[in-house]
Amino acid sequence: MESLKRKIVAGWVLTCIGDNRTYSYVPSRQSDSYTNVISKRVLEDLKEPFVEYSWLDRGSDERQYCSPGVDLPIGSLMRTKYGEYPEYHTSLDDMSVISPEGLFGGFKLLVSAVEILETNASYENVLPCEPQLGKRGLYPNTSTKSSGLEVRDQMNVISHFDGKHDLLGIANICGVSYTYVRSLACKLLDAGLVKLA
């Protein structure tokens, strides 16, 4: 069991993933687990409503994975949670509840979670102070209200490339998507302005 605990960074039970209603998740028992942080981030990045249940609302296999003595960081990602849709465990709980759109939404959710697991890293600025972005094509050429917001987000993110914060943490601090932070990190890396910490 100890070997398994050392190898599992985050994980999810996938259940009720194919309807086209809302998104939801049940966190792992450990409130600060990487699983919980990733789950919330990918759901927020969808920009769609979702339901955040508590550990006390568990009811699928996350119960066993998180039970005392096992203690794995496993939560559940779902569309509509088991027991929360009218067809659940009735004769109406058939393939008509599932839709291609619903399945694709569930798929996108999972891809986003795995992408964070595989790409999250810490970066640090190569130069002291804020970098000069204009000469590197990373600063807007015209000033508008939207470009001002873009610059603000960009500079907020850059200010956290200190080697102490990872991309996921920066996305949460700055209130922007993980994809945005990762994309900016890649651009700055290509420009020689940041390096992996």
The tens digit of pLDDT for each residue in 49-95 reads 999 999 999 999 999 999 999 999 999 999 999 999 999 999 999 99
Domain ranges of the chain: 2-119, 122-196
Backbone phi, psi, residue 85, to 5°:
-120, 150
Q: What is the pLDDT of residues 34-49, one digit of tens each?
A: 999 999 999 999 999 9
DSSP-based helix, strand, coil % in the chain, nearest 5: 45, 15, 40
Which pLDDT value is given to residue 150? Answer: 83
Q: Assign domain 122-196 one CATH number from 1.10.10.10, 1.10.1200.10, 3.40.47.10, 1.10.287.110.
A: 1.10.10.10
* CATH superfamily, domain at 2-119: Zn peptidases (3.40.630.10)
Does residue 13 surpass a pLDDT of 80? yes
